[in-house]
């Protein structure tokens, strides 16, 4: 049985190939997420009822779209190209339960990571990396909160921790590159980053399934 072997260079190449096969779809998806995030960052102050309601609506939209992004990214790396179009978006949308599960899992990750940062920065980074796949695991496996957190924790162990850590750093770099190009670059770097992490996740789950990791 061969050990887990993941090439970041190959994964980036494959992520680009997925993007290049459906450029209009992925750039459109990225554009929507960029608009949501820009609105949140530029309208994060204010106490009027209308302002609070509007921010709540945008928050809901961001959670929904994040779920869609994860589902779409998994479909891409799984070779389900028939699901990579606007007509199929409804198939990627979460139901009410899935929506609230995404919020709770995200909050759990934030709390655990926050506790780690309070203790010391290094434990915080460690917790964040070990739980990096919790939301992806939920979208993929539709398990409970604890199952999703536990699955990510068990996937990211040993030497794999450093592979995940490096991929997360590359994701941040991609986001920075996209941001400094007047946000236009994010139309490309955001999809590439999402596809990259989904690629790594699927490689890990396939190895985990076969008892390799």
CA-to-CA separations, 12 to 6, 19, 124, 181, in angstroms, rounded: 11, 10, 27, 20
pLDDT at 198 over 60: yes
37, 58 contact by CB (below 8 A): no
CA-to-CA separations, 133 to 36, 61, 107, 184, 200, in angstroms, rounded: 23, 21, 14, 27, 10
The residue that leads in pLDDT, 120 or 122, is 122
pLDDT at position 1 is 42
The residue that leads in pLDDT, 183 or 128, is 128
Give 10-27 pLDDT, tens digit per residue: 999 999 999 999 999 999
CA 20 to centroid of chain Cα atoms: 20
Number of H-type helices and E-type strands within the chain? 10, 0
Encoded tokens for 132 = 């990096």
The residue that leads in pLDDT, 78 or 209, is 78
pLDDT averaged over every residue in the chain? 88
Give 40-57 pLDDT, tens digit per residue: 666 556 666 766 777 778
pTM for this model (two decimals):
0.89
The pLDDT confidence band at residue 212, using thresholds 50, 70 and 90, is: low
CA-to-CA separations, 184 to 31, 43, 61, 91, 105, in angstroms, rounded: 9, 21, 21, 28, 30
pLDDT at position 117 is 74
């Amino acid at each position: 049985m061969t050990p887990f072997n993941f090439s970041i260079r190959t994964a980036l190449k494959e992520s680009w190939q997925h993007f290049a096969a459906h450029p209009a779809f992925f750039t459109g998806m990225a554009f929507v997420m960029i608009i949501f995030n820009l609105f949140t960052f530029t309208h994060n102050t204010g106490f009027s009822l209308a302002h609070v309601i509007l921010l709540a609506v945008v928050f809901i939209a961001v959670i929904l779209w994040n779920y869609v992004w994860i589902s779409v990214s998994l479909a891409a790396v799984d070779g389900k190209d028939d699901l990579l179009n606007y007509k199929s978006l409804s198939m990627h949308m979460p139901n009410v339960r899935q929506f609230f599960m995404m919020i709770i899992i995200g909050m759990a990750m934030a709390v655990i990571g926050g506790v780690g940062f309070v203790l010391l920065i290094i434990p915080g980074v460690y917790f964040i990396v070990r739980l990096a796949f919790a939301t992806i695991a939920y979208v993929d496996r539709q398990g409970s909160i604890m199952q999703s957190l536990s699955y990510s924790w068990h996937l990211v162990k040993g030497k794999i921790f450093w592979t995940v850590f490096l991929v997360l750093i590359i994701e941040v770099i991609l986001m920075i590159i996209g941001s400094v190009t007047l946000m236009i670059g994010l139309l490309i770097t955001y999809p590439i980053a999402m596809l990259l992490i989904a690629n790594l996740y699927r490689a890990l789950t396939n190895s985990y399934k076969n008892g390799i990791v």
